[in-house]
Amino acid sequence: MTLLGVEQLEARHGLLQAVRGVSFGVDAGETLALVGANGAGKTTLLRTIAGAHKPAAGRISFDGVDVTATPAYARLRTGIALVPEGRRLFAGMTVKENLLLAAAYGRSGHWSLEAVLEAFPLLQRRLNSRAGNLSGGEQQATAIGRALMTNPKLLLLDEVSLGLAPIAVEAVYRSLRGLITGGTTIVLVEQDIGRALSVATRIMCMLEGRIILQGVAKEMTREQVTEAYFGLQRSRRNSS
Ligand code: ATP
């Protein structure tokens, strides 16, 4: 069943067109990895789906309802949660306070403080620490936990491994794999193509605001995705 539908979406920053006529769908239970070079439009696309950025044109439907004009707080209530690049936690509040605050804005469901701590064991001994005093990995786990506390039907993750030590990336991805196995529908931006291919059911590659490659992850090679990432497919086509 299609959970998210994106049709001919356009998004701008002033005169700059960051997302150009993008169309795709995400089925319930899928993990879609969005890859592409810096500036390809991935963050703008995720923010537009979450309602944090207003589209210039196109349509977004979620769970069978047109949400194109729905504000971000109301999209959260319908089940779309974004973990933004840079985490944006309330630094002066504890981990527990950050998590409980989010619960007030979402839906009811499986995710509770206990369930989040089970999914992210590294947070258990940090529950009463201020978010601003946490390591990068702990902050990222809190940010994902905070989104889960809203009981999303769709979790949008923007570069969860950015700036983390390799050991912290492993810990965060271990927990993500648990979520994926549990059936959470995820769209994630990931710079590491190998990791994207290993975690996702489907890959979508963006270049200059457009989707230039998409397909089933296990049917794609790292070389194919790398070529699309750097726009080599296009230059090869152009030169032939
Ligand atoms: P990155 O991996 O660097 O985050 P990205 O693929 O997520 O890149 P976006 O951040 O969506 O890409 O940026 C797409 C384009 O929009 C880029 O050209 C970028 O410079 C521009 N852009 C992004 N945010 C803004 C903004 N707030 N104001 C103006 N231009 C912006």
CATH for 194: 3.40.50.300
Q: Rounded to the nearest whole angstrom, what is the distance from the C-alpha of residue 119 to the centroid of ligand 1?
A: 31
In a domain, residue 201? The reply is yes
Q: How confident is the model at residue 1 (pLDDT cuts 50, 70, 90)?
A: confident
Task: Give domain status of residue 29, yes or no.
Answer: yes
Residue ranges lining ligand 1, Cβ < 6 Å: 13, 16, 18, 36, 38-44
CB 210 within 8 Å of CB 175: no
Structural domain count of the chain: 1
What domain range includes position 38? 2-86+152-239
Residue 132 lies in a domain: no
Residue length of the chain: 240
Does residue 230 sit within a domain?
yes
- Predicted structure pTM score: 0.91
Strands 57-62 and 2-13: antiparallel
Nearest-CA residue for ligand 1 atom 19 is 39
CA of 44 to the centre of ligand 1 (A): 6
Q: Please give the average per-residue pLDDT across 9-28, as a whole number.
A: 97
Q: Provide φ and ψ at 214, rounded to 5°.
A: -150, 150
The confidence score (pLDDT) of residue 191 equals: 87
Residue nearest to atom 28 of ligand 1 (CA): 13
Position 71: which residue type? P
Residue 167 lies in a domain: yes
Q: How far apart are CA 172 and CA 164, in angstroms?
A: 10
> Tens digits of per-residue pLDDT, 59-71?
999 999 999 999 9
- The rounded Å distance from CA 17 to ligand 1 centre is 10
**Could you tell me the two tokens for 99?**
């998590």
